[in-house]
């Protein structure tokens, strides 16, 4: 059992987690390394090797119990607790994120929604009241938030990040098109569907 996961292993375990979560929802009680391989395009032998490094989770001739394997991977990734995150931006994307059930099943709660636009402050988005950016430091500390999600246009993204960092955030998920400058102890994860698509297209074209 490795002391600390390498980037590659952690990335693959996350993929397994994703597939297993979906599989459980579809009612699959058991799943084989071969099936996980088909959904993830990760070598089946590698999957078994990844998992067996932490214990013998499967049954020979049968496969893995979906539920059991989920718990094991959560334990390995140490993500069994509850995590509160803050969302900045109550527009279309922000609303979609706030009302998505996808976070809840992984123990993640959107615990605060912030906006700059005074018009939107006080409104409710997916059961959460929209707060002012000015209240961010207090709310984030109180709710123990270290993860911030940026769902604002590019021109206000840096302001949103600065506010989040001032309020104590250490992990930023950036759904804007802005390039964000942050201190070295803060990590930024930028998502760009268009680039992901170009990447996929490259491998499709023969």
Partner DNA sequence: GCAGAATCGTGACGATTTGTCACAAACCAT
Partner DNA sequence: ATGGTTTGTGACAAATCGTCACGATTCTGC
Residue numbers at the binding site for a second copy (CB under 8 A): 5, 7, 10-11, 14-15, 17-19, 21-23, 25-26, 39, 77-79, 83, 85, 91-93, 95-97, 99-103, 105-106, 108, 146-147, 149, 154, 170-171, 173, 177-179, 187, 189-205
166 binds, options a second copy, DNA, none, Cβ within 5 to 8 A by partner type: none
When the beta carbons of 31 and 133 are compared against a second copy, the nearer one is 31
User: For the chain, first and last CA: distance in Å?
Assistant: 40
When the beta carbons of 34 and 100 are compared against DNA, the nearer one is 34
Please count the CA atoms within 13 angstroms of the CA of 71 that sit on its side-chain side. Answer: 6
Strands 83-88 and 147-150: parallel
Distance CA 160, CA 147 (A): 13
The DSSP letter of residue 179 is: P
**The only residue of 16, 20, 23, 48 in contact with DNA, by rule CB under 7 A:** 48
Q: Does 59 help bind DNA (rule: CB under 7 A)?
A: yes
State the Cα angle at 53 between 49 and 57, rounded to 5°.
85
């Amino acid at each position: 059992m490795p002391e600390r996961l390498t980037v590659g292993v952690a990335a693959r375990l996350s993929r397994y987690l994703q597939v297993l979560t979906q599989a459980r929802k579809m009612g699959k009680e058991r799943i084989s390394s071969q099936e996980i391989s088909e959904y993830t395009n990760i070598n089946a032998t590698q999957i078994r090797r990844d998992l067996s490094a932490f214990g013998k989770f499967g049954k020979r001739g049968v496969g893995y119990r979906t539920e059991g394997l989920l718990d094991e991977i959560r334990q390995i990734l140490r993500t069994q607790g509850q995590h509160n995150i803050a969302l900045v931006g109550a527009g279309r994307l922000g609303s979609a994120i706030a009302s998505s059930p996808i976070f809840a099943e992984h123990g993640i709660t959107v615990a605060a929604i912030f906006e700059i636009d005074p018009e939107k402050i006080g409104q409710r988005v997916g059961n959460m009241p929209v707060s002012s950016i000015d209240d961010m430091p207090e709310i984030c500390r109180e709710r123990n938030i270290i993860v911030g999600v940026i769902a604002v246009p590019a021109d206000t993204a840096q302001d949103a990040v600065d506010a989040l960092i001032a309020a104590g955030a250490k992990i930023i998920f950036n759904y804007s098109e802005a390039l964000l400058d942050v201190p070295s102890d803060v990590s930024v994860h930028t998502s760009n569907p268009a680039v992901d698509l170009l990447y996929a297209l490259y491998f499709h074209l023969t």
